[in-house]
């Protein structure tokens, strides 16, 4: 059973005076790459969150976001008086420079300046955190289910493309006998043209001809290609997703297909080989997204 690295999970938690929304998005990546966006009150738990994500999702580019919304009493703020005064003095200097003396209208502007109003720091409640942690796990489970469903869709696509490669392999068979006969005919014609001028051992010539034709034979490649395709399908059904192993198998499939193409020496067989390569490339592209 394979799993995609693409996934999404969301959990919403209602706590006294606050609503917490957890969102997790995942995409493909060679390693695990986690980016987080967490309210400052929960920053001390970031390492625990990363550890939890790593243990559940294994690999992928992961975006983890926590959104905090106050639903109860209004948040209390503290005015940073020294900073506000500094802003005010700067504005006074600016007003003097442009000959504007009405300082009283600057207070609303100062209050809106960065870092002047700061919300009072809220202490992390461990009981709340336990519920948040459970919601994170719920979101991770949702991501895993999403990845599993995507994996099922990809499995169907892989099976279809491997079947197409095996069907194309059967399409080669009608051309094989014709190919060998063409090679024999071409060689015999070439030697017929020079036999009057060059003496050669007929028996040795037949031995060399057999050796040359055997080198063009693709029977072994066909057998290995079928075996690799069967192994690919078996690996798809493994209980654990094995994206890297499937990638190695596709490399072996590609090696046999390339060898057949180089040995083919026949236009129709080479056309079939090109079709095989096309299907194999589509499989490789999808494998980048497999866990």
pLDDT in tens, the chain (291 residues): 899 999 999 999 998 888 999 999 999 998 999 999 998 888 899 999 999 999 999 899 999 999 988 876 666 678 888 888 888 888 888 777 777 766 667 778 888 887 787 766 567 888 899 999 999 999 999 999 999 999 999 999 999 999 999 999 999 988 877 777 777 777 667 666 666 566 666 676 667 666 666 677 888 999 999 999 999 999 999 998 899 999 999 999 999 999 998 888 788 899 999 999 999 999 999 999 998
Residues 138 and 178 in one domain: no
- The answer as to whether 1 is a domain residue is no
The strand pairing partners of 34, in sequence order, are 62
Q: Kindly calculate the radius of gyration of the chain based on its CA atoms and give it in whole angstroms.
A: 35
- The answer as to whether 214 is a domain residue is yes
Residues 246 and 278 in one domain: yes
- The answer as to whether 2 is a domain residue is no
Residues 159 and 202 in one domain: yes
* Domain enclosing residue 132, as ranges: 7-72+124-145
Residues 30 and 49 in one domain: yes
Going by C-alpha positions, the residue among 74, 82, 253 that lies closest to residue 166 is: 253
Residues 182 and 278 in one domain: yes
Nearest-angstrom CA–CA distance, 219 and 176: 10
Residues 134 and 63 in one domain: yes
Residues 212 and 257 in one domain: yes
Domain count, the chain: 3
- The answer as to whether 21 is a domain residue is yes
Helix (H, G, I), strand (E, B) or coil at 27: strand
Residues 84 and 105 in one domain: yes
Structure-derived torsion over alpha carbons of residues 179, 181, 183, 185, reported in degrees to the nearest 10: -150
Predicted TM-score (pTM) of the model is: 0.73
What is the sign, positive or negative, of the torsion defined by CA atoms of 11, 41, 75, 108?
negative
3-class SS letters over 18-60 = EEEEEEEEEECCCCEEEEEECCHHHHHHHHHHHHHHHHHHCCE
H or E segment at 67?
Answer: strand 60-70
């Amino acid at each position: 059973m394979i799993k995609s690295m693409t996934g999404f999970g969301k959990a919403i938690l209602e706590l006294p005076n606050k609503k917490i929304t957890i969102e997790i998005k995942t995409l493909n990546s060679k390693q695990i790459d986690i980016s987080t966006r967490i309210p400052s009150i929960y920053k001390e738990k970031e390492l625990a969150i990363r550890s939890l994500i790593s243990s559940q999702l294994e690999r992928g580019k992961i975006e983890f976001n926590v959104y905090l919304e106050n639903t109860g009493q209004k948040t209390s703020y503290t005015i940073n008086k020294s900073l506000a005064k500094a802003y005010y003095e700067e504005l006074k200097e600016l007003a003097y420079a442009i000959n504007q003396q009405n300082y009283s209208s600057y207070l609303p502007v100062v209050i809106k300046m960065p870092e002047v109003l700061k919300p009072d720091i809220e202490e992390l409640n461990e009981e709340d955190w336990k519920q948040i942690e459970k919601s994170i796990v719920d979101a991770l489970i949702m991501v895993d289910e999403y990845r599993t469903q995507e994996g099922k869709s990809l499995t169907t696509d892989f099976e279809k493309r491997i079947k197409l490669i095996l069907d194309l392999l059967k399409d080669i068979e009608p051309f094989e006998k014709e190919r060998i006969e063409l090679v024999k005919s071409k060689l015999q014609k070439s030697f017929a043209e020079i036999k009057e001028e060059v003496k050669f051992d007929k028996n040795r010539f037949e031995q060399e001809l057999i050796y040359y034709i055997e080198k063009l034979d693709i029977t072994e490649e066909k057998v290995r290609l079928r075996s690799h395709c069967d192994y690919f399908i078996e690996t798809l059904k493994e209980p654990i997703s094995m994206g890297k192993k499937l990638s190695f198998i596709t490399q072996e499939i590609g090696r046999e297909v390339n060898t057949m193409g180089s040995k083919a020496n026949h236009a129709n067989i080479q056309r079939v080989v090109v079709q095989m390569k096309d299907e194999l490339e589509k499989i490789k592209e999808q494998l980048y997204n497999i866990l």
